[in-house]
């Protein structure tokens, strides 16, 4: 069995970002062990902002990823530097920078590029969207 790592750089509002979600869902439904993790980098980290509120007639990608976490125990990692640059903070980062609130959506974790490199070494295939 081939293990995949998804590396998503596409903006959270792009078709490529939706395609990445569809690809991940397909892998998980076929065999939950095929997808090791998903790493969001650059503008893709916006999907982890719990304050994203798409209009009611649009697909809620943040919620969709969260459902995959619940259903398949999927590991969603957001690049720490890219997230910080875009104002997406977990509780520890918010406190460190003197902010009272954090906005990292449930189901997402903050990680660094070193974690991405480790994951990449553990997988047979990396697919970028």
The dihedral built from the CA positions of residue 64, 102, 43 and 80, taken in this order, carries a sign that is negative
Q: Which helix (H) or strand (E) holds 126?
A: strand 125-128
**115 DSSP assignment:** H
Catalytic site residue from 74, 79, 89, 110: 79
Check if 79 is active-site.
yes
CB of 48 within 8 A of CB of 100? no
The residues annotated with a catalytic role in the active site are 79
């Amino acid at each position: 069995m081939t293990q995949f790592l998804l590396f998503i750089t596409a903006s959270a509002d792009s078709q490529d970002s939706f395609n990445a979600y569809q690809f991940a869902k397909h892998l998980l439904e076929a065999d939950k062990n095929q997808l090791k993790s998903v790493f969001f980098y650059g503008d893709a980290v916006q999907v982890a902002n719990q304050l994203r509120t798409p209009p009611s007639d649009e697909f809620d990608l943040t919620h969709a990823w969260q459902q995959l976490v619940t259903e398949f125990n999927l590991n969603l990692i957001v690049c720490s530097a890219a997230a910080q640059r875009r104002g997406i903070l977990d509780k520890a980062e918010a406190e460190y920078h003197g902010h009272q609130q954090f906005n990292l959506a449930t189901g997402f974790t903050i990680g660094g590029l070193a974690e991405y490199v480790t994951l990449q070494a553990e997988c047979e295939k990396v697919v970028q969207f």
